[in-house]
Structure 1
C-alpha cells in the first residue's frame, strides 16, 4: 500500500462489502499485515512493528495479547491497523500500546487510531439503521465488540 489514499480506499471497499462483524484479521491480511498472538502481561495489549521475517507483504506484523477476550483482540487489531494506515511513518521499530491504548505517541495520534478503529469495527453505515429498538449490548453482540466500546461509539457513558 503506497499512500494514505490507497489505504483508506482499501478500508472503505473492504468494509463496504462485508456485514458486521467486520473480519479485522482478513482486513489486516488484505493490507499486507500478518497478525499473531503473543504471551504478554496485562500491561501490554498490542504492537505493530516492521518485521521482515514475520510481516506480511507490507513488511508489518501486529501482535496481540493472546489471553485477551476476542472483543478486546478485535479492537486492538483494528487500532494497530489504524496506526499502519494513518501513522506508518511514526511506527519505526514498533509501537506498543498498553492496556489503555497509550503508546507514548502523542495523545492526538492515539485518539486518531482509536477513532479509525471504531470506524472499522462499527461503521456508521451499518450501525445507524440498527440503533432503534436495540440496546448497546445487542449492538455489541452484532458487531462483536465490547459493550463499553459500543457505548462509547453511541455516546452513552455508563
Structure 2
C-alpha cells in the first residue's frame, strides 16, 4: 500500500467525524499494524519499524507501551502515525520514542510529529463543535477527546 500524502490526509479526515478519534482503526486504514507491548520500561512510549512480518499492508508496525495510560497510548499511536506520514524516509530499522517523545530524529521532526498527533487527536472542527455547545472546560474536553489535560490545555491555548 503506497498512499500519497493527500490520500493519507483524507484517511485521517474520514476518522475525524466524532471524538475520540479511534487511533488503531486509523492506523489500520493507513496500512499500519499497532501492537500493545506489555512489560516495557516506563520511559519507553513507542516505536515504529519497517516489518514485513508484523507490519500492516504498508509494511510498517507501531509498538506502544501497554503499561501506559490509555490517553498516553493514544497520543503515542498518533505520534508514530505522524512519523510514518512525515518522516518515513528516516524510519530505517525503527524510530524509538522515549517517555518525552524524543528519538534520534531532530527536535524539529519530533515537534512536527507532536503537532500532527495533536491535529489527529484534537481536530479544530471537532473542538469548535464542542466548544460552541458550551463545553469549554479543559478537563471536560480532555475527557471527551481522551487526551491528557496538559495536551488539551496546550491545544485550546494555541491558535493553530
- How high is the TM-score relative to the length of structure 1? 0.92
Partners of 1:140 and 1:2 lie apart in 2 by 31
Aligned residue in 2 for 1:29? 28
Contact 1:21–1:121 (CA<8 Å) still a contact in 2? yes
C-alpha RMSD over aligned residues: 1.3
Alpha-carbon deviation of 1:133? 4.5
Which string of whole-angstrom CA distances, capped at 9 and with x for unpartnered residues, describes residues 14-71 of structure 1? 32xx210000000000011111111210121000000111100000000011100000
- How high is the TM-score relative to the length of structure 2? 0.91
Q: Secondary structure of the equivalent of 1:100?
A: coil
Within the alignment, does 1:69 sit opposite 2:69 as a pair? yes
Which string of whole-angstrom CA distances, capped at 9 and with x for unpartnered residues, describes residues 91-117 of structure 1? 111000000001120111111100010
Aligned residue in 1 for 2:12? 11
1:153 to 145, 155, 159: 155
Alignment of 1:137-148 (within 5 A): 137-148=139-150
Q: Secondary structure of the equivalent of 1:96?
A: strand
Contact 1:20–1:142 (CA<8 Å) still a contact in 2? yes
